Amino acid sequence: MCTTCGCGNDDTLINGIAVSRRNHKRSVNQDDSAASAKRFLFRTPQQHHHHDPAPAATTIRRIQIEQNILAKNDALAADNRAFFAEHSILALNLVSSPGSGKTTLLVRTIKSLKGQVAMAVIEGDQQTDNDAERIRATGVQAIQINTGKGCHLDAEMVGHALEQISLPDGALLFIENVGNLVCPAAFDLGEAAKVAVLSVTEGEDKPLKYPDMFRAARLLLLNKCDLLPYLSFDIELAESYARRVNPDIRIIRFSATSGEGMNDWMAWLDAQRTTITKRN
Ligand SMILES: Nc1nc2c(ncn2[C@@H]2O[C@H](COP(=O)(O)OP(=O)(O)O)[C@@H](O)[C@H]2O)c(=O)[nH]1
Ligand SMILES: [Mg+2]
Ligand SMILES: [Zn+2]
Ligand SMILES: [Zn+2]
């Protein structure tokens, strides 16, 4: 069980094969920490004060437990990050709700960059290898992680997937996270940046409702802009909400089907790759 959001991560499969999650030693009792962290994460401050006789002490304890749990993930994310740095690999973590168009935009991106850049994709879904198959159809390597009852990827899963990928130095690695605007925000996978995808059919207010995700992202792709004529979606309002929670976020109006925004997205990718190469 994932002790941060309480989701189950004991039945992870990578390309259909069960992963033994051995490094599960934690500095706090797991069951205790699971319950506490869940309470810590999903309680509002008001509820907290209302129900808790000693809010200061228990808040500190919960924060410590939460920090311990994420510390393990962060340590494994640091290993992944060191690996990427050593090989000048640009790793991007694509996050969004289900159906916003991550796989579609990846397929389009791969077709556009094929022959210029070595690429691979790590796909995260609870079940099926449909998305890995969609990527493989482009001729690019894809590893499917099935998280089972898990609602997000973690650094350990990505570390295991990396053992099965052979990438040349300077490659581009896309990690398509499980569709979920909440939990993936909390888990560093060792990526250079999170790229949030929000489609215009989801409503303008999502950055305000799920601020952690939009705060964690460096780039926002506002996808399905080809549908704008048929919707009442106010794109400027959506952009202002995203900037309210993250003033530094870069926003690209995008359509994975029409290709709108592809040039800006390609330029952004190129700039990120240049940064990675220069760092080494
Ligand atoms: N109209 C339109 N549909 C899109 C666009 N991008 C994706 N879709 C559709 O949205 C659905 C979900 O796309 P998918 O890539 O599977 O989303 P994911 O769950 O985020 O990977 C599919 O039916 C896609 O064809 C887009 O830019 N415009
Ligand atoms: Mg997908
Ligand atoms: Zn969760
Ligand atoms: Zn979880």
pLDDT of the residue at 51 = 53
Residue 62: half-sphere exposure toward Cβ, Cα within 13 Å: 19
pLDDT of the residue at 40 = 38
Nearest residue by C-alpha to atom 3 in ligand 1: 224
Nearest residue by C-alpha to atom 10 in ligand 1: 101
Domains and CATH numbers, the chain: 85-279 (3.40.50.300)
CA–centroid distance, residue 106 to ligand 2 (Å): 9
Which H or E run contains 37?
Answer: helix 30-42
For residue 84, give every residue at least 6 positions away whose Cβ sits within 8 Å of its Cβ, in sequence order, or none.
90, 91, 173, 190, 192, 276
pLDDT < 50 positions in the chain: 23-49
Residue 124 DSSP one-character state: E
**Single-letter residue type at 237:** L
pLDDT of the residue at 277 = 77
For residue 101, give every residue at least 6 positions away whose Cβ sits within 8 Å of its Cβ, in sequence order, or none.
197, 199, 223, 224, 256
CA–centroid distance, residue 40 to ligand 1 (Å): 34
pLDDT of the residue at 47 = 43
CA–centroid distance, residue 98 to ligand 2 (Å): 7
Question: What residues pack around ion ligand 2 (CB closer than 5 A)?
Answer: 102-103, 131
What pLDDT, in 10s, does the model give residues 27-42?
333 444 444 443 334 3
pLDDT of the residue at 265 = 98
pLDDT of the residue at 197 = 98
